[in-house]
Every structure is written in C-alpha cells, then in structure tokens.
Structure 1
Amino acid sequence: MTHTPNAPTLPPAPPEGCIVTEVRGAVLLIGINRPAKRNGFTPRMYRELAEAYTRLDEDPALRVGVLHAFGAHFTAGLDLPTIAPLMKRGERAMPLGLVEPNDLGTPGYRRRTKPMVVAVQGITFTVGIELMLAADIVIAADDCRFSQLEVKRGIMATGGATLRMAERAGLGNALLHLLTGDEFGSAEALRLNFVQKVVPAGQQLEVALALAQTVAEQAPLAVVATRLNALKAVEHGPVVAMHEFIETQQRLSNSEDAREGVQSFVEKRAARFVGR
C-alpha cells in the first residue's frame, strides 16, 4: 500500500476481491482491492468497477474520479480462471447500461463524461494498462512493471490497448510491446505517452489526488465539455471537434458558472462553481 498521507485504509477483501469507493469532497476514490492476488480482476471486481464509474457520472456532487489500487501492485491483469468462461461465451462481466471503464463506446454501455485520474504502482499488466489508457491523466510510481502480454496467453488485448497504444506512441512502438508481451518500466511508459508523470513509489496516489482536487475546483460544465471535445478530436479528427466550438461556447457562456467566473475575476477572488 502507498504511504500517502490520509491514504484510504485497506479494508478486508473477499477471496474474489472487490472495489472500494470513498468520497473526498468532489472527488471519488475508486480502489481496487484484492492485494493477496496482486489485484487480479474477477467478474465481481469488473462489475463493481463499472458501478463505481457510473456513480461518478451520475452524482452531481462528484466531479473527478481517482482510480488506485491497494497493496504493492496495481493489477496483475485478468483472473483468467474466472474470466475465461465469459470470454468463451462472448459475454461481458458487467450489466448493460453501466458506464464502461474502458470507455470504448461498446453498444449497450455508456461512455464516461467526467475526468478520471489513475495512480499506478508495481505490476500493471494487461487490463491495468488498458484502464489507465482509457482514463485521462496517469501518475505512475517509478517502480512500475508494465506488460501487455495477451499474446503470451493465446488471446488478444480487447480492452483498448491495440487502439490507444498506437494513437499515443505510434504503430511501431505499439507493436513492439503488443507483439512481444515484453515487460517495460515507468521511464518507457513516459516516453510512449502512456503515463503523464512518474513519481517516487509511494507518492503516486498523493499526487493523483492533489491533481484531481485541482481539476475539481474548476467549472464542472467547462471541464466536461473540454474533455469531450479533446476526445472527439482524437477519435474523429480536429475538424469534427472544431464544429462544436461555437455551440458549446454559447451554452457555457450562458451558465451560472460562466457568470461566476467573470464575477470572481472582477472581485479578485477564487471562483465558487456549482456546475450549472
């Protein structure tokens, strides 16, 4: 476990693991809790993760999510003995209608709108890489060990790695790791733009939480609109994203928060945004 001041207390975990949530102001901490098995993901954990992401999107009091893990490792990946039967049947571990943690736009699932910051440490394999690439900002401990090793198990990465690795790092760099399943460290992940900051081990959650709290202080409607427009530019191209500029700016400019932004500037004080 990290040594972050005021870090979440490690709660008991059932054998199949669980997801633990904690509210810190406008931030929702989402903790992966199965340290005895290096946080290997079971169907229950994946379902509860989707439920936590859905809670973040639906609760107007929550503005930013922070995904982290208890124990020395982020996750060793999928717990194949429990997940493989679902794969063979072509089934998902989470019910339809929830927010999809991998944010792929899979039919029947919702896409996240609010920002997600991730803190990773130690072993961060397969689904761990895909979850962090699906998030918005990643803080990595300097002891991370990354591997997208599906090819070593006779399967393919289908949680977004084949899409986002190439987008972040270029096709050659993506295939270097996707086709070998090799292990690489935090410095390589930073070089490839898979993570945004590398910090000493034990500080990753503290830094991620501070960053999330800073984002939570900004105007919520503007934060969501900015995130979605940047995502649209990546997925559909800058021209498509640009076509939203005038309409989105007009909507934001007529909000209570935009008026508060102007008033706080005039009065030389911190803004008090309400998300309306």
Structure 2
Amino acid sequence: MSEPRILTERRGHVLLIGLNRPEKRNAADFELLTGLAEAYGELERDPDIRAGLVYAVGDHFTGGLDLADVGPRVGPDGLSFVSDTGVDPWGVSGRQRTKPVVVAVQGICLTLGIELMLAADVAIAARSTRFGQIEVARGILPFGGATIRFPRTAGWGNAMRYLLTGDMFDADEAYRIGLVQEVVDDGEQFDTALAIAERIAAQAPLAVQATLASAFTAVREGDAAAEARLQPTLARLAASEDARIGMQAFLSRTPAEFVGR
C-alpha cells in the first residue's frame, strides 16, 4: 500500500499536517487535495487542537497542481474536492476555518503552495526556497485565492509583477513583498514554524479564535462590520474561565494554563 498523501500528527495542542508526495515534489493530485481538506476539517473539529502547522516531506513544498490527474476532474462548475467533513484549506469555498495556521516552506513552492501561504496566518521560508505563481503559463488562472489575496498582501504592482508573468522569485523577494514573515537557514523552517504555532497554542484559545475572526470579518465584510462586533465579543470573552485564568496569571506573575472555556 502506498503512503497517505497527507500525514497528520498531534504535537501538544498543535496539529502537524504534512504534504507527503515527495517523489513528485508534492504536486497536488486529487487525493492530496481531498486529504488536505480532511486534515483542515480535523483541525477545526478537535477542541484540543488550537493551531495547525502545514509542512512538506522532502526537498520541496509543492510543485503545484498535478494537472494530469486533476485537470480531467474540472467540470462546468470548477473543481470540487471538499467533503462534508472537510474544510477548504484555501478558504475560497464552504465554511471557513476558525483556528490559526502556520506554514513552513522549502525548495520549490509553486501556485497553490503560495496560495496556501496566503490563506494561512504566518509563513516561514527556508532561504533557498523558490516561488512561482505560474498559472498563466499553463493557460489557467490561480483559483485558490491568489488573485484576491496576493494584491492585498503584496500591493497591486508587486502582485501583478508575478501573477501576470509567471516569473519565479526567491525567498528574499517573498519577504520583501510580505508573502513570508521570516526567512531562515535551510532546514530550520519547520522548527521555527513549530515554535510560532506552539506560542499561538499557548495563548487563550477563545481569545485567539476571536482575534482571528475579527480580522477575517474586517477583510471580508469591512471595518464597520468588525467594529460592530468588538464590544460584544469582548464582553463574551471577559466572562470566560480563560479570562479569569489570565488575570490570575497576571497578578501572580506565573504562566497561564488556559482551558479553552
């Protein structure tokens, strides 16, 4: 039997989600897409999991979409790969995730790999990583959110420079335009990303999710919609057990052990 396309492992309160098709540069066939959506569903459902870390097995994060496998599955309404128990990792269809995701990339990171970073919250890149949003060279367009998030993240000119040419760029350029938050020496990207995911997971889960939800609301519905929910959300959080634990930790100057209630 072949190994699963997606590996999952619980590391404390962090769910590790590994792309596992290294012999094909982790190119995403239909099995990998559906497996990744199921892993995001697991992240969403498990109350003990507070953050996710997406990484890749082997030398490369992803060579992009396996068009030979996925292409014939694109129908009149596009491509459907998310089941009732899954969550779209690219956040462009169905229900949205509510928990933070950190991504660690290395080697080649093409197309849907960049879009996965853009759809996540924090991205760490190995120094030798090479990026490319090359859909226009294949006769298609980015359909995982790059046309929406890349200009918002990098600015219009920086985004169009790569979206419309398909040119490759390096980790320093990815950092300059804001696609990644840190560039580290090769081999250090996983540990650095895990440390960040664990820092997030150590905070009050309800507060982390509320913070993320507020930011999502501002982006998707506008500032006014997010502003209208700030005070009601604050009141709800202030009445939580975690708020009491946080105050006790502050007063006693000891680390807080949050319970997510």
TM-score range, shorter chain: over 0.9
Match of 2:107 in 1: 122
Q: Distance in 2 between matches of 1:96 and 1:262?
A: 39
Query: 1:45-60 alignment to 2 at 5 Å?
Result: 45-60=32-47
One-letter amino acid of the counterpart of residue 26, structure 1: H
Pick the aligned partner of 1:230 from 195, 201, 215. Answer: 215
The C-alpha deviation readout for 1:1-33, integer Å capped at 9, x for no partner, is xxxxxxxxxxx954xx61000110000000000
1:77 aligns with 2:55: no
One-letter amino acid of the counterpart of residue 120, structure 1: V
Pick the aligned partner of 1:264 from 240, 249, 254. Answer: 249
The C-alpha deviation readout for 1:216-268, integer Å capped at 9, x for no partner, is 11000000000111122223322221111110000000000001111111222
Match of 1:204 in 2: 189
Tell me the C-alpha RMSD between the 2 structures: 1.3
One-letter amino acid of the counterpart of residue 210, structure 1: A
Q: Distance in 1 between matches of 2:36 and 2:2?
A: 15
Q: Secondary structure at the match of 1:271?
A: coil
1:182 aligns with 2:167: yes
One-letter amino acid of the counterpart of residue 182, structure 2: K
Pick the aligned partner of 1:158 from 134, 137, 143. Answer: 143
Q: Distance in 2 between matches of 1:94 and 1:164?
A: 21
Q: Distance in 2 between matches of 1:232 and 1:139?
A: 25
One-letter amino acid of the counterpart of residue 196, structure 1: Q
Contact 1:76 1:123 in 2 (8 A): yes
The C-alpha deviation readout for 1:183-220, integer Å capped at 9, x for no partner, is 00011111111111110110000000011111111000
Q: Distance in 2 between matches of 1:13 and 1:172?
A: 43
Q: Distance in 2 between matches of 1:50 and 1:136?
A: 17
Cα drift, residue 93 of structure 1: 2.2
Calculate the TM-score normalised by the size of structure 2: 0.96
In structure 2, do the counterparts of structure 1 residues 13 and 205 end up closer, same or farther at CA, with 3 Å as the change threshold? Answer: farther
Q: Distance in 2 between matches of 1:166 and 1:211?
A: 25
Q: Distance in 2 between matches of 1:92 and 1:148?
A: 21
Match of 1:27 in 2: 14
Match of 1:218 in 2: 203
Match of 1:103 in 2: 91
Cα drift, residue 63 of structure 1: 0.4
Q: Distance in 2 between matches of 1:238 and 1:135?
A: 20
Pick the aligned partner of 2:79 from 87, 91, 94. Answer: 91
Calculate the TM-score normalised by the size of structure 1: 0.91
Q: Distance in 2 between matches of 1:82 and 1:221?
A: 40
The C-alpha deviation readout for 1:57-82, integer Å capped at 9, x for no partner, is 11011000000000000000010001
Identity of aligned residues (%): 50
Cα drift, residue 172 of structure 1: 1.4
Contact 1:43 1:94 in 2 (8 A): no
Contact 1:40 1:77 in 2 (8 A): yes
Structure 2's unaligned 5+ residue stretches are none
Q: Distance in 2 between matches of 1:275 and 1:198?
A: 32
One-letter amino acid of the counterpart of residue 101, structure 1: P
Pick the aligned partner of 1:138 from 87, 99, 123. Answer: 123
One-letter amino acid of the counterpart of residue 80, structure 2: R
Contact 1:73 1:122 in 2 (8 A): yes
Contact 2:41 2:85 in 1 (8 A): no
Structure 1's unaligned 5+ residue stretches are 1-11
